Structure 1
């Protein structure tokens, strides 16, 4: 163990990376901890090893949660740090606004190193934390959104459920699914859930839309904390879900899943509720669409009827106007009168000429 005595004698409260992140995430204004010396403890992880004007940007991880933040380390002090060991030091927090995207980055600045000791976690636990971090960075696929889209398009998804060789939980899942079981294209595949090698075959499935690993409660659940299985699950292309019968502990494999359930029955209930809700939404949408079409047709009919009413009113006014005028002569009568006038004029002219 390597240690050095602090130069100041003031006793400072010790913070973890998670505690610092919580303080800054919940603060609207700059917390008082910024640029103020605080004592910090966490697991040191070296970065890329690039010297930026006498400083290195490494990582400090929380012992309990695995959350991490950037640690700015002076080059002269970095030589004393041992990768993946717990370091206890005095430092201060700074925030930096990135030019691209406008994101605010929180940095821990190592000022004075107090102690280096063995990490609270074993190598296996540390690797497990690293897998959890990798899954978080990769992201959790939105299984419910995928299923909803398939229900809307009436395309049953292929769901492969891997269960134990003598298990009867397939009945529990189908019973919980109820009438929704007719939609989902479920296939139950039996494997030995006590063999890491057989469980590994689950993660070779690249033809299913969704891969589910399910078993009831009881002993032997520690196999689902196997690093090998969890790393394989991290690389699985289809959506991955777990339904492992436990309520108290969450296995490492559960953390690799895009969605997990505490029992196989809970899985079946969720699928049924999702299906029923989507169908209800579809029916509600159809009813609203029919009502809207009905309203539009009614409005169009009323507008058309009003046009005809206006035309009829105009014609009635024209008829009333014609009725109010005195009777006149028709064309035939006018021609006869004109002819008679011409003849009369001709006769008078002949008489005068005589």
Structure 2
């Protein structure tokens, strides 16, 4: 049985875009056509003598890029209605096909049919186009990938009952959002402006106007140009879900993301979160598979490397072991030879030392005998000298003792003589003092005899006499 091979025609991205570009061949694009709308200037610079401006539909904000020569542009007045003649130009840009209207002539200029408020609304739309819309998907994905909560402020009417619709649409994704509800008079531009100004500095990621529907007259509040101008100045992502699926208000055109109904708004947020969760799950599974493959590959390579290294180390070990064995044998042999030489040298040295020692012992013995004899002679001489010295010392000691006895005797005699002379001198002195005291006593007695008897003087005299007598007796 033959197997039929299926063949496929392979295209490049460039060829695919070329196919679509060639397929877009319409009668209106092959000939000159007339295009009517409100003309709005773009950038002020020309490229290869052409300016790139914008032509808006009169009834809405749909626009097309206009490529106009510099000469024709000089005749155009900004924000006026023109009918232009030209052709459609298709340009391949990376992965998209851009359509430009190349102006060949100006057919007519009509008087402005728009009020100042309409022109202001168009200017606001043009300003929003220049500023660009903030991407709701990117904001939510970035916050969730950084494990951050998305902060949302929803503005409802005072008596609104659509909060439940929003929650049902958001479903299980509510855990990823911090949703705060605010209420105001949703039919009053002033009330909505006041509420928006209060939220301006609260750093919400998303600010949404949520409404369940209503009559067409109450819907006109969302076309207020003053409210719209403040709405596009918000730093947060602006969202509308005001309950009209047919009509598109000015705020819908200026919002970063428009939803028709509150439920659609909640479901849209849930869809973004769910898509990110699925992508993370898929990428995690792919990452695990890739990691497994990488780890398996690395493990096999490491095992091969380690096996090769082990084999090489075993060979090196065997070689080293062999070398070591040879070195040990050589060293053992060398050591034995050296040990034999050392033993011979030791034996020779021992012999020499023995002979030298015997000679020295003999010499020392002779010297010792001689010294012993000299010592005996010295000892005899010393003994005789010591006996003579002891005899002389005893004689001198005896002589010294006799001299000491004589000295003591003489000193005792001198001491007795000195004591006697001192006693005699003191006795004579005391006797003289006693005589003087006796004389004084006699005189005192004579004086007392003359005067009245004074017992105190008498007692003093008796005491003095007793003291003198005591001293005299001590001296004798």
Shorter-chain-normalised TM-score: which range?
Answer: 0.5 to 0.7
SS at structure 1 position matched to 2:163: helix
SS at structure 2 position matched to 1:265: helix
Corresponding residue for residue 208 of structure 2? 212
Deviation, 1:163, is 0.7
Structure showing greater Rg: 2
1: distance between equivalents of 2:169 and 2:243?
Answer: 15
1:289-304 map, 5 Å: 289-304=287-302
1:21-36 map, 5 Å: none
Corresponding residue for residue 238 of structure 1? 236
The reply to whether residue 203 of structure 1 matches residue 201 of structure 2 is: no
CA deviation profile, 1:7-35 (whole Å, cap 9, x unmatched): xxxxxxxxxxxxxxxx9xx68xxx765xx
Deviation, 1:293, is 4.0
Deviation, 1:106, is 6.1
2: distance between equivalents of 1:48 and 1:268?
Answer: 38
1: distance between equivalents of 2:68 and 2:82?
Answer: 12
Corresponding residue for residue 8 of structure 2? none
SS at structure 2 position matched to 1:276: helix
1:31-42 map, 5 Å: 39-42=34-37
2: distance between equivalents of 1:184 and 1:297?
Answer: 38
1:123-134 map, 5 Å: 123-134=116-127
Which of the residues 226, 229, 236 maps onto 1:228? Answer: 226
Deviation, 1:125, is 3.7
Which of the residues 157, 178, 185 maps onto 1:164? Answer: 157
Return closer, same or farther for 1:211/1:313 CA change in 2, 3 Å cut-off: same
Corresponding residue for residue 100 of structure 1? none
- Contact 2:157–2:183, Cα closer than 8 Å, also in 1: yes
2: distance between equivalents of 1:266 and 1:201?
Answer: 26
Deviation, 1:124, is 4.0
Deviation, 1:43, is 3.7
Question: How many pairs does the alignment contain?
Answer: 294
Deviation, 1:248, is 1.3
Structure with bigger strand share is 1
CA deviation profile, 1:91-131 (whole Å, cap 9, x unmatched): 55799xxxxxxx998653546x5564553x55544433332
- Contact 1:47–1:58, Cα closer than 8 Å, also in 2: yes
Corresponding residue for residue 468 of structure 2? none
SS at structure 2 position matched to 1:198: helix
- Contact 1:94–1:108, Cα closer than 8 Å, also in 2: no
Deviation, 1:243, is 1.2
2: distance between equivalents of 1:267 and 1:165?
Answer: 19
Return closer, same or farther for 1:110/1:320 CA change in 2, 3 Å cut-off: closer
The reply to whether residue 63 of structure 1 matches residue 58 of structure 2 is: yes
Q: Given the two structures, how large is their TM-score scaled by the length of structure 2?
A: 0.50
Corresponding residue for residue 52 of structure 1? none
Which ranges in structure 2 are unaligned for 5 or more consecutive residues? 1-20, 45-50, 90-97, 341-476
The reply to whether residue 108 of structure 1 matches residue 108 of structure 2 is: no
2: distance between equivalents of 1:145 and 1:276?
Answer: 14
- Contact 1:57–1:73, Cα closer than 8 Å, also in 2: no
The reply to whether residue 185 of structure 1 matches residue 178 of structure 2 is: yes
Which ranges in structure 1 are unaligned for 5 or more consecutive residues? 1-22, 50-55, 96-102, 341-354
Cα RMSD (Å): 4.5
1: distance between equivalents of 2:77 and 2:321?
Answer: 112
1: distance between equivalents of 2:338 and 2:52?
Answer: 116
1:245-264 map, 5 Å: 245-264=243-262
Deviation, 1:197, is 0.7
SS at structure 2 position matched to 1:241: strand
SS at structure 1 position matched to 2:170: helix
2: distance between equivalents of 1:48 and 1:295?
Answer: 54
CA deviation profile, 1:187-220 (whole Å, cap 9, x unmatched): 0001111111111124322222211110112322
- Contact 1:213–1:243, Cα closer than 8 Å, also in 2: yes
Return closer, same or farther for 1:39/1:179 CA change in 2, 3 Å cut-off: closer
- Contact 2:30–2:87, Cα closer than 8 Å, also in 1: no
Q: Given the two structures, how large is their TM-score scaled by the length of structure 1?
A: 0.65
Return closer, same or farther for 1:46/1:251 CA change in 2, 3 Å cut-off: closer
- Contact 2:80–2:109, Cα closer than 8 Å, also in 1: no
1: distance between equivalents of 2:109 and 2:163?
Answer: 54
Deviation, 1:231, is 1.8
